[in-house]
Amino acid sequence: MTIHRTSTRTTLGCMLVSSRLDYFVENSFWRKIQTPRKKTLLEDPVGTLNSLRTICLMILTIAPLSQSIGQEKRYSAIIPAFHDRLTKSGRESVLQLQRQRFVLFVYRNAVAVSSEADFLNTGVDTLSQEFALPSTGHGEIGDEPHHRISNGILSVQLWIEGQRIAPDLIHESNEDWYTIRSRFAPAEHRRVKAVFWAQTSLAGVDSLQGLDTVVIPAGKRSFVLDLSHATVWKNVIEAIDVTVVLKGGMSFQRDSVSCEPDTYHLQDSTITWSLRNAKPSPGDNIVVSYTPSGRWGSAPNTMARLETYIVKTVYDRLLDYVKQIDGEHNY
């Protein structure tokens, strides 16, 4: 069974189209053709032209309706930074996010992510802090229309100071969140780490990992790295480092790849961004779009196969790569 996020809007559109067609059958050309024909086209050209005009108007009326269904929001792979879910808008946390690092392995159908964040308690009291990763239903720019909506992050693993902690999954309003909690003494530093993945196809496919019924079609892929929500933490972020590595035989030379913003450094199959003393805005969010070329071969092409391959194989390779970077840069 395929789950379509626009099913409600699609059903409403179909009802409206159906009601218009019912009215059309009762009041226009179609009703006329059910009665005995009295005049031919040559005998009644005006009546025939009026009927054809009515058909054209109906087509023009239905077309914009069908185009608007499912286009209100764009579902996409959104890679989140750690959020403070409980802090009200406009209120700044006493925790400072000092450093944030993302390492992303990009495959034909998915992106696997390692996220590490160093936090400092700048307050004078010990506090218990929730760290949250938004998933399905989360908006890139709040509730603004026509913005991107997350199609969900999957197989989430979380650590605090090297200790793995099982996250809680919270459903709030229309959003899902993965959350953990940690205590901070005054002036204490703690590192919070996450590993997860998201499917990057722009086609509507099942987001339930256990389903193996829908083949992800070839075509354009995209993901958004949401840095702007990290501004809820205190002061500026001293360092943000992002490393994107193309895997699965893809390359920036053979495949169609576009990246924004263009303040990156490219070397072989790796592209990097570095921000210093930053307070990211939505304009700083990183968008990577790509269309893999050539033969797809044995690339995992369903959500279930992707989950198995990424969790059992890619996660270990990703974490080994992060350790290699740590050894080279003393991170």
pLDDT band at 302 (very low <50, low <70, confident <90, very high): confident
| Token reading at 43 | 């005998």
Q: At residue 246, does pLDDT exceed 60?
A: yes
- Residue 46: per-residue pLDDT: 53
- pLDDT reading at 292 higher than 50: yes
Q: Is the per-residue pLDDT at 203 higher than 90?
A: no
Out of 85-99, 145-159, 179-193, which region has the weakest mean confidence (pLDDT)?
A: 85-99
- Of the candidate ranges 47-56, 71-80, 246-255, 302-311, the one whose mean pLDDT is the lowest: 47-56
Q: Is the peptide bond before 217 cis (omega within 30 degrees of 0)?
A: no
| Distance between CA atoms of residues 201 and 258, nearest Å | 15
Q: Which residues contact 261 (CB under 8 A, 6 or more apart)?
A: 273, 283, 284, 286
> And the tokens for 268?
């072989």
pTM: 0.74
pLDDT at 71: 37
Report the DSSP pairing between strands 74-80 and 221-226. Answer: parallel
Over residues 139-160, the mean pLDDT reads 78
Residue 252 pLDDT greater than 60, yes or no: yes
Q: What local confidence, expressed as pLDDT, does residue 315 receive? A: 98
Average pLDDT on 108-135 reads 96
pLDDT for 66-101, tens place per residue?
333 333 346 789 999 999 988 755 567 899 999 999
- The phi, psi pair for 309, rounded to 5°, reads -65, -45
Residue range 271-296: mean pLDDT, rounded: 91
Using the predicted structure, report yes or no on whether residue 41 has a pLDDT greater than 60.
no
How much is the pLDDT for 74? 67
Question: Beta partners for 74?
Answer: 148
- Which is more confident, 141 or 21? 141
Task: Give the separation between CA 74 and CA 202, rounded to whole angstroms.
Answer: 9
Cβ atoms 287, 260 nearer than 8 A: yes
More confident residue, 173 or 118: 118
**Percent of the chain at pLDDT above 70?**
68
- Rounded distance, CA 310 to CA 302, Å? 12
76-329: what CATH class?
Answer: mainly beta
% of the chain with per-residue pLDDT over 90: 53
Provide the sign of the torsion angle of the four alpha carbons 156, 272, 236, 222, taken in this order: negative
Name the least confident of 73-77, 165-169, 189-193, 220-224. 73-77
Q: Is the pLDDT of residue 59 over 60?
A: no
Segments making up each domain of the chain, as ranges: 7-68, 76-329
Nearest by Cα to 216 from 231, 191, 199? 199
Residue of 49 and 72 predicted with greater confidence: 49
